[in-house]
Structure 1
Amino acid sequence: MRVNIQTVINRLISPIAKLEQTVDTLKFGHPDTEVTSIVVAFMPTQSVIEQAIQRGANLIIAHEGPFFSHHDDTVLRKDDPVYEEKRRLLESSGIALFRFHDYLHRYTPDGVMEGLLQKLDWMPYVQKHQPAYSILQIPTATLSQIAEHVKRRLGITFVRSHGDRELSCSTIGLLAGYRGGGQNAIPLFEKEELDLVMYGEGPEWETPEYVRDAVYQGRHKALIVLGHAESEEPGMELLANKLTSMYPEVPIHYVKERPIFNIL
């Protein structure tokens, strides 16, 4: 059964009412093109694009945009050699690129959060889902034990944390992606009576500084910062698995990038 790019897009966005303002658009390619193979990735890096070419894929579905801006603002980069080389590669390859961000975050539960929870094997511990976060009640473990579990399950070598390594934690607020800012995360400590907040990314002068002062005051609080990609890649891997079930006749490949940061 043949399927074109627009058919795939329509199926992905169909669980959500049409968004009037969204970054989820077809950045390259034509919607009527028949899909031969799909690459799913968190970030459409140049390496991911090249791997898609090698695999014979003609559609990339990526969570983030290709040109280093959430709103795809390329005005300031039109003369930048990195931008130009990447743009030329996409155009010359003929690969279509669809960004799937806003709709996925509006799934119930949030599609990115669902992937993260499944990867962490924490789905049974979910107490409730909210649009920006989930609350979990896990078996009591120390901050250090939780960090080791997270690293092992996500296949990462480090997380950043603040708090007593031996602090016993059971009630966790989990926020995927760029939701670790103070406005989102700080109120949860008291509102949800949390021991631990864990998120992908956020301004370092907000939630981390709140936790620093809370710990200094002797309060039972802790923080784990995963990294933006590390918190959202599992959601895209889950999406690739779902697409395989939706379109068994189309080769689907999940491509995971190497971690962007190294510890020196």
Structure 2
Amino acid sequence: MGITIQSIIEGLIAPVGKLEQTCDTLKCGNPDTEVTGIVVAFMPTQYVIEQAIARGANFIISHEGPFFSNHDDCSTLVDDPVYQKKRNTIDESGIALFRFHDYWHRYKPDGIMAGLLQELNWTSFVQEHYAASTVLQFPKETVRGIAEQIKNRLGIQYVRVQGDPDTVCSKIGLLAGYRGLGQRAIPFFEQDQLDLIIYGEGPEWETPEYVRDAIYQGKHKALIVLGHAESEEPGMKHLANLLSNKYSEIPVFYVKERSIFQII
């Protein structure tokens, strides 16, 4: 018997230990199945599932869940044709799908953050890692210059910027994914005396409105919003590299989706 899905899952959760409450479960598939190939992705979209099938991979590890709900509530989707097609594709293929979200965020450092910092080539600027954020001490750079670095290194078309693009920044806070909530990001500005916060996603009526008022009051603040997927995809690419090194006998593929939005 070769390497099973269950053995890979156990290896993924081992650095953290078993969590009593988590969304990280095997969403479909048999845990005792021998793995023929692994696809790692941020989101298990229809495209990603079809790519796994085409590559002969029978195990998908994704950061987010497959059915448009953080808590796997599909009760409103039973008769939806998009849900039905996706569900049928998974069931007919026999692919197993494991969500790797809470555990990956609890690695030390956070696995998503580690991948994002590597992709941005900012690891040397890390001043301090917190559980859900990182403080960077930069050589002095403008908001515009930082935004250009992000776009070029992450391969994304645009970021959203609040504040004067020519503002010079040196102390920067980085939050990946849905961590732009006001209760998390707003205290971060003052706690670490930050010039700029960069995050993936958050409510627009919270942190951005705080930054709007701060700028109006003459304070030296700025905000860059990357997008949820754009901020977390590098962390899953990082995971794919780790798995490829650990399981050299199994083909491991990182599948990146196109950006969910476009500029028109």
Q: Post-superposition shift, 1:17?
A: 1.9
Q: Post-superposition shift, 1:100?
A: 0.3
SS in 1 for 2:234: helix
- Map of 2:95 onto structure 1: 95
Distance in 2 between residues matched to 1:184 and 1:64, nearest whole Å: 21
Distance in 2 between residues matched to 1:153 and 1:212, nearest whole Å: 28
Report whether the alignment pairs 1:85 with 2:79. no
Q: Post-superposition shift, 1:76?
A: 1.1
- Map of 2:197 onto structure 1: 197
Distance in 2 between residues matched to 1:39 and 1:18, nearest whole Å: 23
Distance in 1 between residues matched to 2:74 and 2:126, nearest whole Å: 40
Distance in 2 between residues matched to 1:69 and 1:170, nearest whole Å: 37
- Map of 2:59 onto structure 1: 59
Opposite residue 237 of structure 1, the aligned amino acid is: K
Distance in 1 between residues matched to 2:17 and 2:250, nearest whole Å: 27
Match runs of 1:1-264 below 5 Å? 2-264=2-264
SS in 2 for 1:253: strand
Q: Post-superposition shift, 1:180?
A: 0.3
Distance in 2 between residues matched to 1:127 and 1:64, nearest whole Å: 29
Post-superposition CA distance 1:82-137 (Å, at most 9, x none)? 11110011000111000000000000000000000011111111111111100000
Opposite residue 206 of structure 1, the aligned amino acid is: E
Distance in 2 between residues matched to 1:217 and 1:151, nearest whole Å: 30
Q: Post-superposition shift, 1:44?
A: 0.1
SS in 2 for 1:18: coil
Q: Post-superposition shift, 1:2?
A: 1.8
Please give the root-mean-square deviation of Cα atoms over the aligned residues, in Å: 0.7
Distance in 1 between residues matched to 2:242 and 2:24, nearest whole Å: 19
TM-score by length of 2: 0.99
Structure 2 stretches lacking a partner, 5+ long = none
Opposite residue 89 of structure 1, the aligned amino acid is: T
- Between the two proteins, the alignment pairs up a number of residues equal to 264
Distance in 1 between residues matched to 2:230 and 2:256, nearest whole Å: 10
Structure 1 stretches lacking a partner, 5+ long = none
Post-superposition CA distance 1:118-170 (Å, at most 9, x none)? 11111111111111100000111000000000100100010001011110001
TM-score by length of 1: 0.99
The runs of 4+ residues in structure 1 deviating greater than 3 Å are none
Q: Post-superposition shift, 1:18?
A: 1.1
Distance in 2 between residues matched to 1:185 and 1:31, nearest whole Å: 39
Distance in 1 between residues matched to 2:19 and 2:13, nearest whole Å: 9
SS in 2 for 1:219: coil
Distance in 2 between residues matched to 1:82 and 1:170, nearest whole Å: 46
SS in 1 for 2:139: strand
